Amino acid sequence: MHPTTIILADDHKLVRQGMRALLEAQPDIEVIGEASDGQEALKLIETLSPDIAFLDVMMPNLNGIEVAKITRHRNLKTRLIFLSMHANATYVVRALHSGAIAYVLKDSDFSEILQAVHNAMEGKRYLSAAIADEVFEMLINSDSRGEKAGLIDILSPREREILQLIAEGNTNAVIAEKLSLSIRTVETHRAHVMAKLHFNSQADLVRFAVQQGLVLP
């Protein structure tokens, strides 16, 4: 019987090592790769075509939400499970909208993680019990949190990527080098982000990025 192949994407090595040890103790699971940021995760998904990818919401360079959106856009078959410390319903809804099939909290019992894997392989969704009620409440009652969650979608994928890199403290020159763009192009994207979101300062951008779960406060 073909084992379920999994990659793990998290910027904390201890989390990856712990997850790998727990998962590989299962006879029907094989961990075939690890990534420390979103760009690496995307490359592994494209090159290894795992059955499942575990993603953290917040990762350097490219966050998990963007990885999920690109994976869906490119019609890649890997099923995505978010494993996150964030129990905020806004993050969960954004993760599900981006194409994830499951969202599990890092402080969950391992049995929940296994259930998420089994559900994903059967094409069924899974939410940690601790967050399910809040998520359903948010989906039923479209409140201001839902509106804020959708605001970021007016930005293009490249603009969201640059927003995250700005909020991580990178200069225009560093961003240009990371993305193989000219500094002028980065400045243009930055100006478009400011205009679309009606922001006046970098502090506004950083606050918004924290609110949207792109970076930690």
Q: What percent of the chain has pLDDT over 70?
A: 95
Selection from 74, 129, 72 nearest residue 101 by Cα? 72
The answer, yes or no, to whether residue 124 has pLDDT greater than 50, is yes
**Domain ranges across the chain:** 4-140, 155-211
Q: What percent of the chain has pLDDT over 90?
A: 62
Over range 25-39, report the average pLDDT: 96
Question: Where residue 96 falls among pLDDT bands split at 50, 70, 90?
Answer: confident
The answer, yes or no, to whether residue 145 has pLDDT greater than 70, is no
Over range 122-149, report the average pLDDT: 74
User: Residue 138: what pLDDT?
Assistant: 74
What is residue 134's three-state secondary structure? helix
User: Residue 92: what pLDDT?
Assistant: 87
Q: Report pLDDT digits (tens) over 34-72.
A: 999 999 999 999 999 999 999 998 898 899 999 999 999
Q: Which fold has domain 155-211?
A: Arc Repressor Mutant, subunit A (1.10.10)
Q: Which fold has domain 4-140?
A: Rossmann fold (3.40.50)
Strands, sheet with 102-105, edge to edge from the N-terminal-most edge strand: 29-35, 4-9, 52-55, 79-84, 102-105, 126-127
H helices of 77-182, where? 89-98, 110-121, 129-140, 144-151, 157-167, 172-179
- Torsion sign, CA atoms 40, 96, 211, 114: negative
